[in-house]
Amino acid sequence: MAKKSKQSKILPIYILNGPNLNLLGHREPEVYGTTTLAQIEQMCAAQARSHGLSIVFHQSNLEGEIVDQLQEARTSAGAVIINPAGYGHTSIAILDTIQTLKVPVIEVHLSNIHRREPYRHLSYVSKGATGIVMGLGAQGYLRAIDAIADILKRTK
Residue numbers annotated as active site:
32, 109
Residue of 51, 54, 56, 120 interacting with ligand DQA (CB under 6 A): 120
Q: Contact region for ligand DQA (CB under 6 A) — 6-14, 49-57, 66-74, 79-87?
A: 79-87
Q: Round to whole Å and give the CA distance between 4 and 119.
A: 49
Interior angle at CA 63, CA 46 and CA 55, nearest 5: 15
Q: Round to whole Å and give the CA distance between 9 and 34.
A: 36
Q: Minimum distance between the CB of residue 20 and ligand DQA, rounded to whole angstroms? A: 5
Closest residue to ligand DQA, based on beta-carbon distance: 85
Ramachandran angles phi, psi of 79, nearest 5°: -170, 165
Residue span 88-107 as binding mask against ligand DQA, x where in contact by CB under 6 A, dash where not = x-------------------
Report if residue 129 touches ligand DQA, rule: CB under 6 A. no
* Residue numbers at the binding site for ligand DQA (CB under 6 A): 20, 83, 85-86, 88, 109-111, 113, 120
